[in-house]
Amino acid sequence: MSGELSPIDKAKFVSAKRAAQYVEDGMRVGLGTGSTAAWLVRCLGELVRDDGLKIKGVPTSSRTAQLARDVGIEVITLDEAKWLDLTIDGADEFDGDLNLIKGGGGALLLEKIIATASDQMVVIADVGKEVETLGAFPLPVEVIPFGWQTTQALIEETLISMDVLGRTSTLRMNGQTPFVTDEGNHILDLHLNRIGNARQLALVLNQMPGVVENGLFIDICDTVVIGYGDGKVEVRDINEGTVATERLDFVESDNLFSDLTE
């Protein structure tokens, strides 16, 4: 039950629960990937089951799609939806301008496509994801398998002229074999430590042959919902320029996530 959660899981839970309030009947909603997004899907599933909420979810990964179906959310494709009212997703890092690093879960390509096809993007995160400058979390870059080592060398050579502190990269692995995204690609994780000009870096990376997409989300996020381990939630709206705080109480008998495996 929620009363038995660790402080970081409590923070993820309250951010997800608060963000679920943005979802209204009849909406087409982008559903993110990752541990915090999984809490959001569970919260929405409860609203579907107990309150009769009717929504259509567009998942950003196959595992999110399966979880959504498991909790009773109707799943459709982006082509079927055409356009989304809202996307709610997690982030690996966010800064004061609500720019993000995403892709730790390997779904950055679909996450960016779906987020940019939405009227609004809400990010849910625990307070530990906030940084002064992006870059401590390795930046994922999705690349096609063909010639990936050449692409990697080109990226590292290009980083010499970028405003970053580190310039090494590693191929993401899944055990003894390269990690493969839902779209059949590989991921290079760039260990940059600090990104001085995220906007420039995002543009330069996406101009390289072999690069499919990068994990910098610039000017995409509208609102971030930050959860704390004590149940406090902070909501920052970049468009309105507002910051609001509230507290969500835990219900000890509420066993919403007893079977959540993430």
Of 137, 155, 142, 111, give the one whose Cα is nearest residue 195: 137
State mean pLDDT over 229-252: 90
Q: How large is the average pLDDT for residues 254-260?
A: 51
Q: Do residues 187 and 85 make contact, with C-beta atoms less than 8 angstroms apart?
A: no
Residue 228 pLDDT class (50, 70, 90 cuts): very high
Q: What is the pLDDT of residue 118?
A: 98
Residue ranges at the known binding site? 33-36, 89-92, 102-105, 129
Q: How confident is the model at residue 229 (pLDDT cuts 50, 70, 90)?
A: very high
Active site residues: 111
User: Residue 188 pLDDT more than 60?
Assistant: yes
Domains of the chain: 2-130+219-247 (3.40.50.1360), 139-213 (3.30.70.260)
Model confidence pTM above 0.85: yes
H or E segment and range at residue 178 = strand 177-178
Q: Does residue 100 or residue 252 have the better pLDDT?
A: 100
Look up residue 13 and give its two tokens: 């839970």
Residue 250 has pLDDT above 70, yes or no: no
Average pLDDT over residues 110-131: 98
Binding-site residues for substrate sit at 33-36, 89-92, 102-105, 129
